[in-house]
Each structure stands twice: as C-alpha cells, then as structure tokens.
Amino acid sequence: MRITNNTLTGNYLRNLSRNLKQMQKYQNQLSSGKEVSRPSDNPMLVSRVMNLDNSVRENEQFKKNIEDSLGWTKTADGSLSEVSATLLRARDLIVYGANGTLSDTDRSALMDEVNMLNEQLTQLLNTNFDGRYIFGGQMTTEPPFSIDVDGKMIYAGDNNNIAREIAPKVGITIISDGSRITQTSGTSTAENQDLGNLIKNVAEALESGDLGKLSGELLGDMDAHIDNVIRFRSKMGAAYNRLEAALERNDAENLNMTELLSKSEDIDIAEKMMEYSVMSTVYQASLSAGAKILQPSLLDYIR
C-alpha cells in the first residue's frame, strides 16, 4: 500500500487534534474542579451526579421543614405553658371565691381578675410564629380567638391540623386546631365543655355569689380543662422530640450524600495535574514530530 504525503498529513492532524482535545479536557477539569461538565463527557457519571445533587437539594428542603416545625412546636409549647399557668390562677380564684366570708367587694375584685385572665388567655391562644397563628388550624393568617360582646372567648379557626413532610414519604402532623385546647368532654356540664363558657360562668358566679356552683361544678370543670391543656402540651412535646430525632437523621444523611457527591464529581487535583502535564508533553511532542512529517514547501525546492 502506497503511503502519500496527504495520508501522513491527515493522520498527523487527526492525532494532533485528538491530543489537543484531551489536553483541553484536563484544562477544563482543573479550572472547574469537576470531573464532568456536560453529559457527553460521561453519561453514566452525569446521571449519578444529577441524582445525588437532587437528593441533596431535597434533603435540604426537608431540613427547612423540620427546623420550621421545631420553631412552631417550641413556640406552641411555650404558649401552652402560660395557658396552663393562667388556668391554674383561675382555679385559685374559684377556690378563693367560694369562701363564704368574702364580701361583695372582694368577689367583685375576683370577678375583675377573672375577666382579665379571659383576655390573657385570648392573647396567649393568638400566639403567632413567623407571622402565622399557631392555634387556628390551617387558617394561619387571622387571629383565631376573640372575645364577643358578651365577654365570651370564641374560636374562629378551622378544625384541621398542620401536616409537614420531613423525609421522603414521611410526614408529621402538628396539632394546630385550637378548638381542641378549649373544648373537652370531661366536664360535668355540657355548657362548660367550652372554655369560653366556663370562664364566663365563673365570672357570673363570682358576681352573684353562687358559692355552691363555684365549689362544685365550676371547680371540677376547671380541673378538666387544665388536664386537657396538659394532655395537649404532652402531644406537642412528643412531636418536638420526633422532630429533633428527624433533624439528626437529616444532618447525617446530608453529610453522607454530600460526601458521596463530592467523590463522584470532584477531581483529584494532584492526579489531574499529572495527567495534564503528561498530555502537554505528548502534545508538544506531536508538534515536534509534525515538523518532520509535513512535506517540504516550494521554498525548500527553490533553495
């Protein structure tokens, strides 16, 4: 087979171009710090990197959900602690008001304090976190509790709870239905199952001096509401503990996936510098060889 100068030149240029392209690849890897920069570099590796990157981003969003939920439940627990303390104070006033030696002026002062506690409870149950009311169900933009013209605390939220996704296909329900705080079935009278009615009836009993009602059904009904708030608070605490455990798992998973992603897409600087140095030497050798392979020009014949 006859080898022509055109054949030698064509082969040389192809090899030179291939060497230059390989050297450019190492340059891109060194400048970006990444093993691949486009799908055509290594389709299988790019697919793996993209999946890992999506998993890391998804995990970061779950972390935000968990941290937000932790803040929500912590705020709710603090508010419920104060609600419990307020109801205990109301109970003390009921016991004190049932004392038959008190004057009408004394009971009137107790009634005024009960009315103040009613306003305090309303304020506590309208606690918000990051601009969202935490005891209004899923209606988080408006205060869920208010006092009507008769001085009774009423609930205007819905009966739904807040659901959050804290891991792939794993969710948690955060109790936000405020009616569950103010409603209980453990009272002796149906009317006093609502906390707003109970507080209002306590104030009226103090005003009228109904000692039997104060020491009887109203005291028992107040105890039922205090127990209900304690149960509600324990459920909130259980949710908080679960969220803390989920946050720890999330941090561990994020660390593992980030490390795996780094191993998949980040280059070994020392190794790439060596490969680039070798390829640069090969390219320079190609240029040197090409000076001998290319055919002489017309000027060479003139000389």
Model pLDDT, residue 144: 94
Q: Of 156, 157, 221, which Cα lies nearest the Cα of 190? A: 221
Q: How far is residue 233's CA from residue 228's CA, in Å, rounded to a whole number? A: 9
Domains of the chain: residue spans and CATH: 68-246 (1.20.1330.10)
Q: Which two tokens stand for residue 104?
A: 């009408």
Could you report the per-residue pLDDT of 236-261, keeping only the tens digit for each?
Answer: 999 999 999 999 998 888 888 777 76
Q: How far is residue 17's CA from residue 28's CA, in Å, rounded to a whole number? A: 16
Could you report the per-residue pLDDT of 57-75, keeping only the tens digit for each?
Answer: 888 899 999 999 999 999 9
Q: How far is residue 294's CA from residue 124's CA, in Å, rounded to a whole number? A: 90
Q: How far is residue 83's CA from residue 185's CA, in Å, rounded to a whole number? A: 19
CA distances from 244 to 8, 128, 238, 273 (A): 70, 21, 10, 45
Could you report the per-residue pLDDT of 95-130, keeping only the tens digit for each?
Answer: 988 887 888 888 889 999 999 999 999 999 999 998
Largest CA distance in the chain: 136
Q: Of 300, 297, 286, which Cα lies nearest the Cα of 11? A: 286
What average pLDDT does the chain have? 82
Percent of the chain at pLDDT > 70 equals: 72
Please return the burial class of 262, using the count of CB atoms within 10 Å of its CB with bins 0-12, 13-18 and 19+: exposed
Model pLDDT, residue 15: 67
206, 214 Cβ separation under 8 angstroms: yes
Whether the predicted pLDDT of 82 surpasses 90: yes
276, 24 Cβ separation under 8 angstroms: no
Model pLDDT, residue 216: 87
76, 84 Cβ separation under 8 angstroms: no
Q: At what angle do helices 104-125 and 43-97 cross, to 10 degrees?
A: 180
Model pLDDT, residue 114: 92
Model pLDDT, residue 129: 92
Q: Which two tokens stand for residue 139?
A: 């209606």
Number of Cβ within 10 Å of residue 230's Cβ equals: 12
The secondary element (H helix, E strand) that includes residue 123 is helix 104-125
Out of 94-108, 132-146, 272-286, which region has the weakest mean confidence (pLDDT)? 272-286
